Each structure stands twice: as structure tokens, then as C-alpha cells.
Amino acid sequence: MVATPIHSPDGKSQIMVLLQDVTELKKAQEQLMQSEKLSALARLSAGVAHEIGNPLTSVSSYVQILKEMDFDDFTKEALETISRHINRIATIVRQMSRFSKTQAEEIKNVKIPELVNSTLELVKYDKRTKNVQIDTDFPEDLPEVYVDGNQMIQVFMNLILNAADAMPQGGMLKITAKRTNAKVEISFKDTGHGIDKEHLDRIFDPFFTTKEKGSGLGLAVSYSIVKSFGGDITVESTPGKGSTFKVILPAYEG
């Protein structure tokens, strides 16, 4: 806001106020910062995954050999604990490796309902979705999108399992899609515990997580993938009532 005093010919003083809406500018700057942050982290992740992955494989192999030997109960339990922690580190390394390789391999026009259904076939075997009722609703005239189908399945899987984690006692996840102008909007609405307001601004930051066993890479990877196709991910949440993640992609007009 800029206020400038002006004087009319009759001697009266007035103030001219100029207002400029910087909402879109601020949003663009935030998106640019996020993209630069993800790009830098992708390069770092590639190196870290390589440097940790190789020696970790050797350590894991030796632990497996030791587990086959005859030790006392205390040593056996210690080896099991070591093995569990190695597996956790290996999972994080794999996620970091995927994070550094978000380059699409096969981009083509695909149908959102088919991608969602393929994802649901995969997650139905995950114990986290056991008590979660998942409903879908897609219009017949929904446009296709031009993306790498496998990468979008990864995005949808992250969002579905993220919702399931928010509903450990069970709940409902509603997956819908609609066309909005030249965009396709896919919504994932859950009845989970929601996200605290102070966490919303950081929800897509790499390594940020509120989960005890989370790596904080799932949503960051999803954000990076969707952005690479000219799309966006947004989130709205009310603590105690649930969250809604929206994936917005350009509609295929070919």
C-alpha cells in the first residue's frame, strides 16, 4: 500500500491510496523457493544414497551371516535389533534414491480413474488400509492427463497411505476428480486426525514429518513429481476432522 498526499486547485488536501495485491507474487516466490530447495536436495540425495547404500549392503550381509550362527539369546536379540535398524536405514536410502530420480520415463496421456484403481490394487495389501473405507467417484467425461503413469501411481500411493496413517483406528477416504477449466483436480479427503496449522506450511518440505517412523520424503517426492508435469498439490486440514489433499494437473487436450 502506498499513500500519497495531493492538493486540489481549491486548496483542499486529499490522500491517494494505491493498493497492490501481491498474493500471486508471494505464491510464485514460495513455489520457486520450494523448487530450488527440492532440486538441491535431489542432487544431495543421489550422493548420500550412493555413499550410504554400498557399505550398508556389506553390513547387512555380515549381520545375516551372524544371525545364522549359534549365539546366546542376548546376542541373537541384539542382532535382530541391528537388522531392524539396517532395514529402516535401507528404506530411507531407497526413498532418497527415488527422490533423486524423479525424471519421467514414459510420458503419455492416461486416464485418472485407471491410475487410481491401479494404485488401490497395490495398497489393498497394506495393513494400514485394513480398516479404511475407500470410495471413489469420477465423472465419465473426465479428461485425460499427460504424465508418467508409474510416477503418478507413486504420488497417489503416498497420498493414500498418508491418509491411512492419519486414521489408525479406521475411517473413510474419499477420492474424487473433476475438471476445472483446463485442469484436472484429484481430491483425497480423509476423516483422520488432521494436521496442525503450524505444520501446514512445511508439509511438503523434505525430511519434515510428524510420524514417529516417517522419513519425511513421501510428500516431498510427490510434490516434485507433480510439479514436473506442470501441476500442483495443495492441502487443507482441520485438526480432529481430517485433511484434503488435491492434485491439480493440466488436462490433456490432444
Q: Please, which residues bridge with residue 148 across strands? A: 107
Question: What is the mean pLDDT of the segment spanning 133-160?
Answer: 93
| Top-confidence range, 51-55, 111-115, 216-220, 224-228 | 111-115
3-class secondary structure per residue, 116-162? HHHHHHHHCCCHHHCCEEEEEECCCCCCCEEEEHHHHHHHHHHHHHH
The answer on pLDDT for 186 being more than 80 is yes
Mean pLDDT of the chain: 82
**Distance from C-alpha of 148 to C-alpha of 105, rounded to nearest angstrom:** 7
Residue 168, CA distances (Å) to 152, 162, 214 in order: 25, 11, 14
CATH 3.30.565.10 domain range(s) in the chain: 107-250
Residue 200 to residue 193: CA distance in whole angstroms: 14
Is 246's pLDDT higher than 90?
yes
Whole-angstrom distance, CA of residue 190 vs CA of residue 236? 11
Please report which confidence band the pLDDT of residue 37 belongs to, taking 50, 70 and 90 as the band edges: low
- What is the distance between the alpha carbons of residues 194 and 215, in angstroms, rounded to a whole number? 19
Hey, which of 19-28, 36-45, 216-225, 227-236 has the most confident mean pLDDT?
227-236
Boundaries of CATH 1.10.287.130 in the chain? 23-99
The distance in angstroms from the start CA to the end CA of the chain is: 44
Q: Note the CATH number of domain 107-250.
A: 3.30.565.10
Domain 23-99, CATH number (from 3.20.20.70, 1.10.150.20, 1.20.120.1200, 1.10.287.130): 1.10.287.130
Give the pLDDT of residue 219: 87
Give 115's contacts (C-beta < 8 A, 6+ positions apart). Answer: 149, 152, 153, 156
